[in-house]
A and B are shown apart, each in its own frame.
Chain A
Amino acid sequence: MRLELGKINIVDVQFGDTTKIESGTLYVNKQKIIDIVMEDEHIKSVEVELAKPGEETRITPVKDVIEPRVKVEGQGEIFPGVMSKVTTVGTGRTHVLKGAAVITCGKIVGFQEGIIDMSGPGSEFTPFSKLNNVCLVIKPVDGLKQHEYEAAVRMAGLKVATFIGKVGKDVQPDEVEVYETKPLLESINEYPNLPKVGYVYMLQTQGLLHDTYVYGVDSKKIVPTILYPTEVMDGAILSGNCVSACDKNTTYHHQNNPIIHDLYERHGKDINFVGIIITNENVYLADKERSSNWTAKLCKYLGLDGAIVSQEGFGNPDTDLIMNCKKIENEGIKTVIVTDEYAGRDGASQSLADADAKADAVVTGGNANEVIILPPMKKIIGMLDYTDKIAGGFDGSLRADGSIEAEIQVITGATNELGFNKLSTIGF
């Protein structure tokens, strides 16, 4: 599967009469966005706001971040099985509005989380402070249940991102990157002397606000399976995960998975990156056993020499991570695991809820318990009154002057377990 990714650099976003890209500026028609969101009878109102890098703006509570993309050549559309038919994607050409994003906000549940500061100390912890964001603050009709509200917000974000992405179809990209993964036997024949490396991609799959979708399928219902990496770039995986802001994968993270990107960088040089195994993180322990058995089986079947295993979320996924690691290692395949830590505010406590001697190569996205003070911002997009009830916030964390004292787990993407952040730890 070969995909050309054409990147159209977006350096500014503004409201305009029509939605278009001109000289690197994305213009969006506000009323059109409102009309798209209001098609859903579950939504009472939507505010559309823009947030740009460097502004004194705080966006909260963030539910998802989505990068606008559009298929230009090749079969299918972005977000297959959800926004279009379930056609297999990942081939041809896709255009990306690089530097732009759609952010959804909504108080789906009373305790909230997910802060993106566009400037100040908090902005250093989230990659989304560097983007030109179209924010949707979505309110539900009275009495709407949490499940339906979550689904309405998720779909609104995807619809708006798809609409905006389409304006990039006929724009000449600033840069084109090419990614290719060949069928396994061809790939092995092409680089017979390079170690074969796969990526075991764990997805959060436990229930309300803890779900991920693959080609429109609720992935708690899948058994581990194989994807071409370029399928992910076309939106095959999308987020319904709204809990644990620091280490959940937004749809933007999936679209831009840096592990996939970096494995491609090394492909054909010192490794042979042969593909992805997606797997889940269920509540039922027998599901964990089955899925980790299957990831190990598929790693062996693919003839891997090494595997990168990434986790999503807090707590019980540590068990899935260690089960995957142990079982893959027991097949004689080297693993590197990617996680984050809850090591206490001083960083001295046990970081994970599970561990094993075989997990001897670990990349961390940082310690989510670190405390930060976020100064007040001039503009709030969303609802700040809920910030006091954010994961990692604590009583009185929202101060009278509008500043917030909290753990960095409140910040969207702060300790991302795909490595889409700046924090880590190096052992000496």
Chain B
Amino acid sequence: MKNILITNNPKVFEENKDKMEIIYSNEYSYLDILYMTRDKIHNGYRLLTHPLSGSIKPNETPYKSTIVIKEEQNLDLNSLDVIEKSIETASKFLKTKKTPKWTNKILEDFQVIDFSLIESAIESIYQFKKC
């Protein structure tokens, strides 16, 4: 079993880069992260975290982090269902209004919150095994 963290959040990357496999670029958009997560699911990975974590809207925060795990089985239909609905919801928000160009201070705040959300999952995932 192999977990992969997919993120565009530099804080999540910095804090986890020595602990687990990460796909990271600060150039990725919120939707890019969801699309890459979907592609992994098509390749036999299963979702471990909900892609719409947090109540901050997809056209508000630019940051997103997800975790998937490689499984023996083929396509995980539950994961596919969740990611497709998440992409649909995020796209709906971004179509109405694009994410504003935030100041660096606000971007840091969004990073801290996205980090807190994914850390709550990482803590649950790894409570009985090391990263």
* Interface set of A (CB-CB < 8 Å, partner B): 109-111, 146-147, 204, 206-210, 220, 241, 243-244, 247-248, 282-288, 313-319, 342, 344-345, 349-350, 353-354, 369, 389, 391-392, 394-395, 409
Contact = CB atoms under 8 A, between A and B. Distances in A.
Contacts of B103: 110
Nearest to B48: A285
Contacts of A350: 88-89, 92
A146 B96 contact: no
Interface pairs A-B: 7 shortest CB-CB: A315-B52, A110-B106, A207-B116, A208-B116, A244-B55, A109-B109, A316-B50
B120 interface: yes
A342 B116 CA distance: 24
A206 B86 contact: no
Contacts of A317: 55
Contacts of A369: 96
B92 to A, nearest CB: 5
B105 interface: yes
Nearest to A313: B55
Interface in B64-113: 82, 85-86, 88-89, 92-93, 96-97, 100, 102-103, 105-106, 109-110, 112-113
Contacts of B88: 350, 353
A319 B47 CA distance: 13
B124 to A, nearest CB: 4
Contacts of A344: 92, 96
8 contacts: A208-B113, A209-B113, A210-B117, A287-B124, A316-B53, A342-B89, A342-B93, A392-B57
Contacts of A109: 106, 109-110, 112-113
Given A206-B54, A342-B92, A344-B92, A282 B116 contact: no
B93 A284 contact: no
Contacts of A342: 89, 92-93
Given A315-B53, A316-B50, A391-B57, A206 B120 contact: yes
Interface of B: 47-58, 60, 82, 85-86, 88-89, 92-93, 96-97, 100, 102-103, 105-106, 109-110, 112-113, 116-121, 124-125
A210 B49 CA distance: 16
A110 B100 CA distance: 13
A346 to B, nearest CB: 10
Task: Name which of B88, B93, B106, B121 has the most chain A CB atoms within 10 A of its CB.
Answer: B121
Given A111-B102, A285-B47, A345-B96, A146 B112 contact: yes
Nearest to A288: B50
Contact of A315 (B49, B55, B119): B55
A181 B109 CA distance: 44
B60 A206 contact: no
Contact of A284 (B51, B56, B97, B125): B125
Nearest to B66: A283
A243 B47 CA distance: 25
Contacts of B57: 244, 314, 391-392, 409
Nearest to B100: A395
Contacts of B96: 344-345, 369
Contacts of A283: 49-50, 53-54, 117-118, 120-121, 124
Contacts of B118: 283
Contacts of B82: 285, 319, 354
Nearest to B78: A285
Given A247-B55, A285-B48, 9 more contacts: A146-B113, A206-B117, A243-B55, A244-B56, A282-B120, A285-B50, A314-B52, A342-B92, A394-B97
A210 B109 contact: no
A371 to B, nearest CB: 10
A350 B92 CA distance: 9
A210 B112 CA distance: 12
A207 B117 contact: yes
Contact of B110 (A111, A319, A395): A111
Contacts of B121: 282-284
